[in-house]
């Protein structure tokens, strides 16, 4: 069973903010699955901030996307033809062949999942997948969260940030503070159990954070960088810990961005600031998945998704993610 597939390719590398012109919509012939391969029809794909870095031709922790080749990323699909004993037609699988409607590849590149286990299939791309593990590992292992810590997370209404705040709450934080980019997102954070939240457009982050965390913070989970990071360093208590997860405020910068001006506070406050990559914490998945499944079942953790329809709209979904148009995980229904 061969046929045609639609793919989104990287057409050109952006300078600064990406645009629709950086993407090409391409139709390709699909080969028959060879021995050991399967054909998967994608149902949903993920768009994630790290993909912005892969559009640049720079050496980083993940290889750049290649020009005129399909982009890649997390996706979930259904096996529609199999030439492997390991996967059967009808199996639901997660994998990294996103940005296309069909993929033919070795069965070992796909992970079979139970489609009935989570509340939505897309949870595998969000709260039960890479972003969820990022939140869990960053908070517990990287920031060394302890019961009673006051936690601040930026990008708090996004896929990672919303989970960070709710896990902190579940594990006994004394205060959970989040920042996000709109009043609606702030309201949502309060509904999710954050003690305080602010829209970072409403004034200097330093002042907004001071009002939201008058007694200071022990942990900052950084998704944003820039003025958020500087403000968090300023509010840190002694022996504070910063998990540097992402710095989305600089991903489209064309010039080097200045560091926080108050870095010297790290010394007197004995602050630990540590960057991390979720893949280095993959062994936590075994502990994380059942724990998160339990939190989802009993309502301790809730998750939002913003679903964009159609593979053709995937570039727009990605650009929307960078502009903050998502609440919770941004996914594309294919």
Among the listed residues 314, 333, 324, the one whose alpha carbon sits nearest the alpha carbon of residue 47: 314
Q: How far is the CB of 51 from ligand NDP (least distance, A)?
A: 9
CA atoms of 281 and 131, how far apart (whole Å): 12
CA atoms of 266 and 274, how far apart (whole Å): 12
Q: Quickly tell me which residue has 């070992």 as its tokens.
A: 108
DSSP 180-230: ESSHHHHHHHHHTT-SEEEEGGGS-HHHHHHHH-TT-EEEEEESS-HHHHH
Q: How far is the CB of 79 from ligand NDP (least distance, A)?
A: 27
Whose Cβ is closer to ligand NDP: residue 75's or residue 322's? 322
Spatial contact of 135 and 163, defined as CB atoms under 8 Å apart: yes
Among the listed residues 38, 160, 55, the one whose alpha carbon sits nearest the alpha carbon of residue 99: 55
Close Cβ partners of 55 (under 8 Å, ≥ 6 residues apart): 10, 13, 14, 18, 22, 64, 65
Q: How far is the CB of 143 from ligand NDP (least distance, A)?
A: 12
Q: How far is the CB of 87 from ligand NDP (least distance, A)?
A: 27
How far is C-alpha 129 from the chain's CA centre? 9
Whose Cβ is closer to ligand NDP: residue 104's or residue 189's? 189
Whose Cβ is closer to ligand NDP: residue 84's or residue 120's? 120
Whose Cβ is closer to ligand NDP: residue 75's or residue 104's? 75
Q: Strand 111-113 to strand 92-95: parallel, antiparallel, or no bridges (unpaired)? A: antiparallel
Whose Cβ is closer to ligand NDP: residue 122's or residue 249's? 249
Strand partners for 198: 179
Tokens of 280: 């280095």
Whose Cβ is closer to ligand NDP: residue 77's or residue 246's? 246
| DSSP letter assigned to residue 235 | H
Among the listed residues 88, 8, 84, 90, the one whose alpha carbon sits nearest the alpha carbon of residue 45: 8
Q: How far is the CB of 83 from ligand NDP (least distance, A)?
A: 33
Q: How far is the CB of 283 from ligand NDP (least distance, A)?
A: 14
Q: How far is the CB of 246 from ligand NDP (least distance, A)?
A: 2
* Residues lying near ligand NDP in the complex (CB under 6 A): 48-50, 131, 134, 155, 157-161, 180-182, 185, 223-224, 245-246, 248-249, 276-278, 321-322, 324, 326, 330
104 conformational bin, left if phi > 0, alpha if psi -120 to 50, beta if neither: beta
Q: How far is the CB of 322 from ligand NDP (least distance, A)?
A: 6
Whose Cβ is closer to ligand NDP: residue 92's or residue 134's? 134
Whose Cβ is closer to ligand NDP: residue 158's or residue 234's? 158
């Amino acid at each position: 069973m061969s046929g045609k597939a639609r793919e989104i390719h990287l057409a050109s590398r952006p300078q600064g903010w990406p645009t629709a012109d950086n993407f090409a919509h391409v139709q390709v012939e699909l080969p028959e699955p060879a021995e050991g391969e399967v054909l998967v029809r994608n149902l949903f794909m993920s768009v994630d901030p790290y993909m912005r870095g892969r559009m640049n031709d720079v050496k980083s922790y993940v290889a750049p996307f290649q020009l005129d080749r399909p982009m890649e990323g997390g996706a979930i699909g259904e096996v529609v033809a199999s030439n492997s004993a390991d996967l059967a037609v009808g199996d639901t699988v997660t994998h990294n062949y996103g940005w296309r409607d069909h993929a033919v590849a070795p069965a070992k590149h796909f992970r079979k999942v139970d489609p009935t286990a989570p509340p939505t299939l897309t949870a595998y791309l969000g709260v039960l997948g890479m972003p969820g593990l990022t939140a869990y590992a960053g908070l517990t292992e990287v920031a060394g969260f302890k019961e009673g810590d006051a936690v601040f997370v930026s990008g708090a209404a996004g896929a990672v940030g919303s989970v960070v705040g709710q896990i902190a709450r579940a594990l006994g934080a004394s205060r959970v503070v989040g920042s996000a980019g709109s009043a609606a997102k702030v309201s949502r954070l309060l509904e999710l159990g954050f003690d305080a939240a602010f829209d970072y457009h409403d004034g200097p982050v330093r002042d907004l954070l001071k009002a939201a965390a008058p007694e200071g913070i022990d942990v900052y989970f950084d998704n944003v960088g820039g003025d958020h990071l500087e403000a968090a360093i300023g509010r840190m208590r002694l022996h504070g810990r910063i998990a540097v997860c992402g710095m989305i405020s600089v991903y489209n910068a064309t010039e080097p961005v200045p560091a926080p001006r108050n870095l010297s506070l790290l010394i007197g406050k004995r602050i630990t600031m540590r960057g991390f990559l979720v893949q280095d914490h993959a062994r936590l998945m075994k502990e994380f998945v059942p724990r998160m499944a339990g939190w989802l079942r009993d309502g301790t953790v809730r998750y939002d998704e913003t679903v964009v329809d159609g593979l053709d709209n995937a570039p727009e979904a990605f650009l929307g993610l960078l502009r903050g148009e998502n609440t919770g995980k941004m996914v594309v229904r294919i």
